[in-house]
Amino acid sequence: MRAPVGVWATEAEQRPRATDGRAPDVFSRDGHVPMRQFEDGEDVDFAIVGTGCGGGVLAAKLAEAGLSVVAFDAGPFWRPLADFASDEREQDKVYWLDERLSDGDDPIELGSNNSGRCVGGSTVHFQMVALRFRPEWFAARSRLGYAVDWPVDWRTMWRYYAEVEDALKISGPVSYPWGPDRGRYPYRAHEVNAAGLVLARGAEALGVPWAATPLATVSAPRGKSPPCVYRGFCKIGCSTNAKQSVLVTYIPRALAAGAEIRDLAMVGRIESAGDGRVTGVHYHRDGQWRFQRARNVVVSGYSIETPRLLLNSATDRFPDGLANGSGTVGRYLMVHSNHAVWARFEEEIRWYKGPPSMAVCEHWNYVDDHPTKDFDGGYAFMSQGPLPVDFAKALVSNTGTFGTALRNRMAEYNHMAGLKIVGETMPQAENRVTLDEETDALGLRRARVTFSYADNDKRLFRHSLGFMKRMIEAAGGFDAYETSSTAHLMGGCRMGHSPEDSVTDADGRTWDVPNLWICDGSLMPTAGGVNPSMTILANAARIADRMKALAARGELAARHA
Amino acid sequence: MSEGRLVQRRVAGRGPVRSMNSRVTGRSHAAASAARWDTAIGSVGAALIVGLVTAVVAGRAMRRPIDRLPADRAALKVRDGAAILGASVLADSAMEHLRGGFYNPAMFAAPVTAAAVLSASVAEPDPRERTFAHGAHAAGAAVGATGLAFHLYDVGRRPGGASWQNFFYAAPIGAPGALLLAGLFGLASERIVAIEHLERHPRERLRIARLLAACSGLALLFESAEVALLHFRGAFHDPAMWLPVTVPPAAGLALLHHAARPSLHRDRLARLLTGTTGILGVVGTGFHVYGVGRHMGGWRNWRQNVLAGPPTPAPSSFWGLALIGLASLDLLAAEGLPR
Amino acid sequence: MSETFLAPYPDYDVLAKWDTPSWNEQTREVMAHRLREVPGRRFFDEEEWAVLVAVCERVVPQPERAEPVPIAPWIDAALFEGRGTGTHFATLPSGPEAWRRGLESIDREARARHGCGFAALDATRRDDILEAVDAGDVDAAIWRDLPARTFFRHLLLEQIVALYYVHPDAQSEIGFGGPASPRGYVRLGPDRLDEWEAPAAAKRP
């Protein structure tokens, strides 16, 4: 049994909670909701590995269509109201803290930066920024001349964005300044905090549009979710349930529709039969390895665990890992460059209040021809509100400041504001997930993540730093300094048009194994210059509908087809 | 092993254990500073209650117990409506301006004037102009109008300018309007009392009655617009939120229609809708109290939720406006209505 | 060194909100554990421990505090318990090994330069060594394949500040609102405060 990360509600980290025909009621402090359960030997329609943006949506929509679903998550099943403290260290318990090797010219930080480990996945700690891709990015190669095209049309995605925005009751501005019409957000935008007004002032001074950020935290009551109280701890887990994470939206729907969620269940291997089809998953729960039979297996473990599981499931028939005939499993891994400019202000900003990014500027996502634009792709940037530890870590890791100077710099916390990009990086085959020789506590080979920026990526973030410095100074900031980091993960098992250079087709079905599917951020062929969660959710909602259609036509193995 | 224990003891000695016991388990420090904050909000609340009670007592003392003529009775009803409006504005502006931290001393003008209007409206109607009530009502109207201008300025000076975002979250445009209305209707009540002196000018009496009906109708439309804006901000998350943006404007239109062409049939319709509007004003207060409790921490977290939740004093302004509308109907009826 | 810490919010204490709606039960439990149950040394040996304590004293000097915020015990505890960070930079050995080698290298760097261990040096000399480590200006024979700056910034500094700024005293000194649940904040604009926030700081020179 692994040692608990937190000191509170440690039993959730040590013993499965979704057992005995019931699962935790996430809207209560200690209650339960009934849960249908399946026998390991029962051939369920879908075994889904992961319960975040991909698996959570899929579990709900497939179960609602009457299909039998068991969804596995390696992490705990939290009840945020009772389990989440206002404490940065305690809340490390929502992250994937198992060591992964980080390699390459620009090795990325994992853990709290981009990897969740609990039911609901990374949406439990995401900062709720709910943006859509620019339509042209779905055809980046043919419309904009870089990277590759998605195998999906933007208008289809537009419909699914609307669906998931409604499911998460996104609170967004009445009119959004960029891109084609997107209808009205279900809830109104939040009041923009002082940190966001810095971006607004700067944008108006520089003559570019800005907007209140569309956020996945409600600005008015929704069912059992109270409106956001602007406590500012969003990044370490919302303790009020105002945040519309998958944990409090799709997971309750999935349970109500008859899906089973297995928490603290680490899937270590997908079993495949002689005919090349998969037959189920081996998972570790409650101290022992078990095997769940399934007609279809969906891998929704995000950009590192998904390729890791496929690679760890190699057999004689598939020596390079499952679904890896093209050799692209683990490849084309992308991050977002997360460079930032920070500055001091005369007034007190107190950026700890409210969600961290309440104002956004997508200007450089929608400008193609500009004399200074010397890069492909785009970037959005947002106002910032890091908690003290987060801010201190960025400060010391970028500047090396220590001693009394460090304490004095940190004492300016309430006078600071920042602008930070979500910068597109190019898909590169050599940025990838492979298996390390070293194994984890369960004997599974660890992931090795290799990442290096392309020249284009570097031009992009240099451009952003120059622009944001001008903007923050135009807003009244002084003593500006820069930091670099990365955020989010995309790609690693991309979908595509052909089995030669992608892992799955447009439906997330692997080219090589007809009943093995992928549904998460690893499918993304390009990264775009916006936070990926809404795109992953929308793509999952679309894939769920495709699966339902295929099942109805008998083109997918399911009992209820 | 002994080494480890040594270290442990050393660490424990340096650690915050001792200070913890005094700072955390001893609650005096926490209680003291909590009390300091409570004093701040508590004193505003207490001032509010004292202001309300004083205003009502002072105003009532100025009313003469006499037999009422229909116009007098209508005038009193108008004043009751204006008083309720004034009370609503007093509480609402005090809360909203507390939320704004009273960063501009001019923000005190709203609750102070609203208290004066409330007090004046409770007093006996008096057609003379050199009375406290007249001055207070006039001041209410003036401060309301100024507030309106100031709130518009506040919207304009923020990043985003005249945008939904600022109409939602900058100084609310509609709120000073309620003070303006309370003052204006207070002044109107003085004119209505003067109707007695217009016995020989029935056309003038009818004109005043129709004007009052039209004004109360417009006021209801105006208030409904503000409610619509704020309930839109709340995404109409509860179906009941549609009620105050449908019934009061319907009542407003019915009043306007009746004012334009008075008839018995239109009187009945306007009476029904306006009466319902008044009831909504009271029921709405209950909804808002419930709404505050739905916010995180409920009423235990009242210091945040009273300010951040739905404004509890706001819905009662419909009650006040409805009373004024009903008074205008009474006045019109007293003039005799065609079928 | 000449620089002194200028406390912008000298009278503010996030612990004063312990019994208010800003703190919930779980946060009180977590914080009580942090404040009362400071662990003893279990992972490092005595020498490593002395270096670590000396490093922490220079990274976050707290001369004004009778009871400095404890940092080294928590680093030791995390390593003892095998608590990961999710990231193992390929250029570094695994977490526990990197810590041991890094601290040992700092100590040997001190011996090479001054003839005595890091913990025995005065503040100025300790700072000089830490600055050299950050600059990568170190003896390659001592550090060998351990990248000094990566170790210093990404393990040492990041972990030390992570442990310092979760402590209420550190949060109070920067005027952070501290724990906030169920109660959050109402006033979000610049220079606007709720009554339960740190009173505005005096303007700094």
Q: Is residue C166 less than 8 Å (CB to CB) from chain B?
A: no
Residue A212: the pLDDT is 98
Average pLDDT of chain A is 97
Q: Is residue B234 less than 8 Å (CB to CB) from chain A?
A: yes
Tokens read off for A461: 């973030």
Q: pLDDT band at residue B66, thresholds of 50, 70 and 90?
A: low
Identify the closest residue of chain B to A175 by CA–CA distance: B164
Q: How far apart are CA A548 and CA B280, in angstroms?
A: 47
Q: Who's near A442: CB < 8 A, 6+ residues apart?
A: A266, A268, A284
Three-state DSSP class for residue A420: strand
The answer to whether residue B201 scores a pLDDT higher than 80 is no
Identify the closest residue of chain A to B305 by CA–CA distance: A229
Task: Quick: pLDDT tens for B133-170.
Answer: 899 999 999 999 999 999 999 999 999 999 999 999 99
Q: How far apart are CA A267 and CA A282, in angstroms?
A: 6
Task: Let me know if A308 is exposed, middle or buried by CB neighbors in 10 A (0-12, 13-18, 19+).
Answer: buried
* HEC assignment per residue over C67-104: CCCCCHHHHHHHHHHCCCCCEEECCCCCHHHHHHHHHH
Domains in chain A and their CATH numbers?
Answer: 11-552 (3.50.50.60)
Instruction: Count Cβ atoms below 10 Å from residue A64 Cβ, excluding itself.
Output: 17
DSSP tag of A494? -
Q: How far apart are CA C186 and CA A507, in angstroms?
A: 45
Q: Who's near A223: CB < 8 A, 6+ residues apart?
A: none
| Chain C nearest CA to B48, separation (Å) | 19
Q: Which site among B21, B104, B154, B304 would you substitute to test the C interface, given the most C Cβ atoms closer than 10 Å to its Cβ?
A: B304
Measured between alpha carbons, how far apart are the two ends of chain A, in Å? 40
Q: Who's near A512: CB < 8 A, 6+ residues apart?
A: A276, A318, A322, A323, A324, A325, A499
Identify the closest residue of chain B to A193 by CA–CA distance: B169
Identify the closest residue of chain A to B164 by CA–CA distance: A174
The ipTM (two decimal places) reads: 0.97
User: In terms of pLDDT, which residue wins out, B300 or A502?
Assistant: A502
CB A523 within 8 A of CB A508: yes
For B:258-317, CB contacts with C below 8 A are 296-297, 300-301, 303-304, 307-308
Q: Is residue B290 less than 8 Å (CB to CB) from chain A?
A: no
The answer to whether residue A355 scores a pLDDT higher than 90 is yes
Query: From the list A188, A189, A200, which residue is nearest B159 (CB)?
Result: A200
Task: Quick: pLDDT tens for A105-140.
Answer: 999 999 998 999 999 999 999 999 999 999 999 999
Task: Quick: pLDDT tens for A388-410.
Answer: 999 999 999 999 999 999 999 99
Q: How far apart are CA B289 and CA B310, in angstroms?
A: 8
Q: Which site among B3, B8, B11 would you substitute to test the C interface, given the most C Cβ atoms closer than 10 Å to its Cβ?
A: B11
Residue B131: the pLDDT is 84
Question: What CA–CA distances, in Å, run from A507 to A121, A495, A496, C180?
Answer: 22, 8, 10, 43
Residue C3: the pLDDT is 77
Q: How far apart are CA C157 and CA C152, in angstroms?
A: 6
The answer to whether residue C178 scores a pLDDT higher than 90 is yes
Q: What angle do CA A128, A7, A95 make, to 5 degrees?
A: 35
Set of chain C residues whose Cβ sits within 8 Å of the Cβ of A410? 165, 174
The answer to whether residue B30 scores a pLDDT higher than 90 is no
Task: Quick: pLDDT tens for A104-114.
Answer: 999 999 999 89
Task: Quick: pLDDT tens for C129-166.
Answer: 999 999 999 999 999 999 999 999 999 999 999 999 99
Residue B72: the pLDDT is 82
DSSP tag of A378? -
Q: Is residue B294 less than 8 Å (CB to CB) from chain A?
A: yes
Chain-chain contact of A219 with B233 (C-beta, under 8 angstroms): yes
* Average pLDDT, integer, range A246-256: 98
Three-state DSSP class for residue B256: helix
Q: How far apart are CA B117 and CA A17, in angstroms?
A: 60
Chain-chain contact of A191 with B296 (C-beta, under 8 angstroms): no
Q: pLDDT band at residue C203, thresholds of 50, 70 and 90?
A: low
Q: Is residue B159 less than 8 Å (CB to CB) from chain A?
A: yes
Q: Which site among B301, B302, B305, B307 would you substitute to test the C interface, given the most C Cβ atoms closer than 10 Å to its Cβ?
A: B301
Task: Quick: pLDDT tens for C44-67.
Answer: 999 999 999 999 999 999 999 999
The answer to whether residue B5 scores a pLDDT higher than 80 is no
Task: Quick: pLDDT tens for B240-277.
Answer: 999 999 999 999 999 999 999 999 999 999 999 999 99
Domain boundaries, chain B: 43-199, 202-339
Question: For the residues of A1-37, what is the DSSP string, one character each?
Answer: -PPPSSSSSTHHHHS-SSBTTEEE-TTSSS-EEE---
Beta A44-49 vs A288-299: how paired, if at all?
Answer: parallel
Task: Quick: pLDDT tens for A200-238.
Answer: 999 999 999 999 999 999 999 999 999 999 999 999 999
Q: How far apart are CA A90 and CA C181, in angstroms?
A: 15
What b-and-e string marks burial along A422-452, b requiring 16 or more CB atoms within 10 Å of the CB?
bbbbbbbeebbbbbbeeebeeebbbbbbbbe
Q: Who's near C83: CB < 8 A, 6+ residues apart?
A: A3, A5, A92, A97
Quick one: which of A487, A484, A488 has its CA closest to A524?
A488
Chain-chain contact of C13 with B29 (C-beta, under 8 angstroms): yes
E strand or H helix that includes residue A437: strand A432-439
Q: How far apart are CA C8 and CA A412, in angstroms?
A: 8
Residue B173: the pLDDT is 86
Chain-chain contact of C46 with B3 (C-beta, under 8 angstroms): yes
Q: Which residues pair with A294 in a beta bridge?
A: A44
Q: Which of A319-333, B112-126, B205-219 has the lowest mean pLDDT?
A: B112-126
Q: How far apart are CA B294 and CA A22, in angstroms?
A: 27
